[in-house]
Every structure is written in C-alpha cells, then in structure tokens.
C-alpha cells in the first residue's frame, strides 16, 4: 500500500507542471495515464493535481507567474457550474 502512495506521488510530481501548462487534449492524456496506473477516477486525479500545484507551486516565488497564468483559469472554469 505504501508503494502505491509513493507511485501516485511520483506521477503527480512528474506530470503536474505539464498538466497545468498544456492544452486540454494533453491534459486528458495525462489524467488517463494517471487513472490507469493508480486506479482512481478522473475527478480524484484532477483534484490531486490541483492540490499539488497549490501546495508546491504557489509557495515558490519562482513559480508564481506560471501558476497565476494557468491555475486561476482552471478554478474559474470549475466554479462556474
């Protein structure tokens, strides 16, 4: 069980930057890969990527511009249900 958590963390670390800087079809491919590998559903995978970005990119001054250009758009789209 612990190795599965480590795998999930490693995948998120590897793909988080790509996920938030790429187009919609590439995001879908990243989510599909993550879901197939870990067995979680798409919504859970999306939440995990979003949490990782908040925790790691928003706290780093080097990445604030990257996040502000891509992250806020995703939040606005999701909250406009």
Structural domain boundaries of the chain? 2-79
- 13 vs 78: which has the higher pLDDT: 13
Structure confidence at residue 59 (pLDDT): 59
Give the number of other Cβ atoms within 10 Å of residue 20's Cβ.
22
- With 0.85 as the threshold, say if the pTM is over it: no
What b/e sequence results for 57-79 when a residue is b if at least 16 CB atoms lie within 10 Å of its CB, and e otherwise? beeeeebeebbeebbeebeeeee
**Residue 41 scores a pLDDT above 50:** yes
């Amino acid at each position: 069980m612990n190795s599965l958590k480590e795998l999930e963390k490693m995948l998120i670390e590897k793909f988080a930057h790509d996920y938030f800087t790429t187009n919609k079809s590439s995001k879908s491919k990243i989510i599909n890969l993550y879901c197939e590998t870990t067995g979680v559903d798409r919504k859970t995978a999306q939440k995990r990527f979003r949490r990782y970005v908040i925790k790691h990119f928003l706290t780093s001054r080097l990445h604030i511009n990257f996040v502000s250009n891509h992250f806020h758009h995703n939040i606005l789209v999701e909250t406009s249900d």
